[in-house]
Amino acid sequence: MIPPGSVIGILGGGQLGRMLAIAARQMGYHVHVLVPEADAPAAALADRVFVAPYEDLEAVRAFAAGVSVVTFEFENVPAATAEACAEQTLVRPGGGVLHTTQDRLREKTFLAQQGFPVTPFAPVRSEEELAVALTSLGLPAVLKTAGFGYDGKGQSVLRLPGEAAAAWAAVGGGPCILETFIAFECEISVVAARGADGSFAHFGAVRNEHRHHILDVTTAPAPGLAPDLAQKAVEITRGVLEALGVIGVLCVEFFVTGEGTLRINECAPRPHNSGHFTIDGCVTSQFEQQLRAVCGLPLGDTSRLRPGAAMANLLGDLWGDGEPDWAGMMADFPGVKLHLYGKSEARAGRKMGHLTVLGDNPAAAAAAVRQARDRLRTVRASV
């Protein structure tokens, strides 16, 4: 057990690292972060900031030597970085988990071998292999880069045979994975945690709606989802955590098909955007849960504080016509919780923060969080 007062090391300093650092501060831990950029959002919350690329293994070892445990805010950390940390201290989740989940092909292969429901897929390393894979899987299909893709980046949908060359060029070549296109009813996710003692806790199945491939609104619990399917998603998530040997938080994203079946889209071995509602909506947030898990503490109560909760992302586009009307939104929606990530520049598509609303049911919470976000763009007429 790593008690409060110890030093937590976080590799990465984006918004997830920032919210993890806030939770660590509340629990009495000290925080060191290693980040490539000095102005990273988590840097303002840290006791000590190491500014270095992840490939600078000398800096990585110096960072790891001063902490009791290292954890991650995102999975695209080089394997050598995780190994260098492990030479000095505990790393949770382990480097093997990162190695599997940071590459789509490795992840899908692992999940398929373990018997988890995934979309049909094939490896693609050349334009010629793409043609063979298309013959095997058929159309429509989705071509994705094997690594370093998020928010729809590094993906191309193929609907006609003549689109193969353009799709290959669009993803930039290199190792890829071709997946059968799933005409899904909706996307859900389950954020859960596994403790150092093998204990398990989850936040239930939530529904995710995207805009331009970026998560837009999450509603908890997932409205319209059959209870048995929600329970199945939780059971699969627990199986993934155990198969990978995760100590920490992991999110599994699922497609719900028209036939009422589940297909795993991808996994993320860390707190997740779709779990942000837990900060205000649950007894224990996903970030506190991550700390409890990696520090060997008992996992916290994941009960929701209200029957419904919803989270809406705030992207840089919101700043296009100037500063959003924070005061007006708060006056009109006093129950809304605002979370901004401290990023220095608002850019289109960049996640700058989020809003959370709790309600008497999921639909009411989702409607309210959308209205509150729309209010940020609206100048109230003077009376």
Residue 159 forms part of a structural domain: yes
Amino acid identity of residue 27, one-letter, is M
Is 127 in the same domain as 208?
A: no
Is 71 in the same domain as 150?
A: no
Is 293 in the same domain as 196?
A: yes
pLDDT at 381 (0 to 100)? 44
Residue 383 forms part of a structural domain: no
Q: Taking CA 260 as the corner, what is the angle to CA 238 and CA 191, rounded to the nearest 5 degrees?
A: 30
- Residue 147 DSSP label: B
Phi/psi for 177 (5° steps) reads -135, 135
Q: Record the tokens describing residue 240, joined without a space.
A: 């993934």
Q: Return contacts of 297-304, CB within 8 angstroms, 24+ apart.
A: 297/1, 297/2, 297/195, 298/195, 298/199, 299/193, 299/195, 299/199, 299/200, 299/201, 300/201, 302/201, 302/202, 302/203, 302/204, 302/278, 304/204, 304/220, 304/221
Could you list the residue range(s) of the whole structural domain that residue 157 is in?
A: 120-180
Q: How far apart are CA 339 and CA 142, in angstroms?
A: 34
Amino acid identity of residue 224, one-letter, is G
Residue 110 forms part of a structural domain: no
Q: Record the tokens describing residue 273, joined without a space.
A: 């955007």
Q: Give counts: helices (H), strands (E), the chain.
A: 12, 17
Tokens 């071998």, located at residue: 113
Task: Answer with the one of 160, 180, 200 that is the final residue of a domain.
Answer: 180
Q: How far apart are CA 266 and CA 190, in angstroms?
A: 11
Check which CATH number belongs to the domain holding 157 and give it: 3.30.1490.20
Check which CATH number belongs to the domain holding 18 and give it: 3.40.50.20
Is 143 in the same domain as 168?
A: yes
Please give the average pLDDT of every successive group of 10 residues along the chain, which has 383 residues.
Answer: 97 96 98 95 96 96 98 89 96 94 94 96 93 93 81 80 89 89 94 98 98 95 97 98 98 94 96 98 98 98 98 96 95 98 94 98 98 86 40
Is 176 in the same domain as 190?
A: no
Residue 254 CA: distances (Å) to CA of 132, 152, 220, 303: 27, 15, 15, 22
Task: Give per-residue burial for 44-75: e unless 16+ CB within 10 Å, then b.
Answer: ebbeebbbbebebbebbeebbeebbbbbbbbb
Residue 21 forms part of a structural domain: yes
Phi/psi for 293 (5° steps) reads -65, -50
Is 214 in the same domain as 167?
A: no
Is 209 in the same domain as 280?
A: yes
Residue 102 forms part of a structural domain: no
Amino acid identity of residue 181, one-letter, is F
Is 249 in the same domain as 318?
A: yes
Residue 97 forms part of a structural domain: no
Is 159 in the same domain as 266?
A: no
DSSP assignments along 284-353, one per residue: S-HHHHHHHHHTTPPPPP--BSSSEEEEEEEEGGGGTTSS--HHHHHHH-TTPEEEE---S---TT-EEE
Q: How many distinct structural domains can be found in the chain? A: 3
Residue 103 forms part of a structural domain: no
Residue 101 forms part of a structural domain: no
Question: Is 183 in contact with 203 (CB distance < 8 Å)?
Answer: no
DSSP assignments along 164-230, one per residue: HHHHHHHTTSSSEEEEEPP-EEEEEEEEEEE-TTS-EEEEEEEEEEEETTEEEEEEES-TT--HHHH
Instruction: Please give the model's pTM, rounded to 2 decimal places.
Output: 0.94
Task: Give per-residue burial for 359-379: e unless 16+ CB within 10 Å, then b.
Answer: beebebbbebbbbbbebbeee
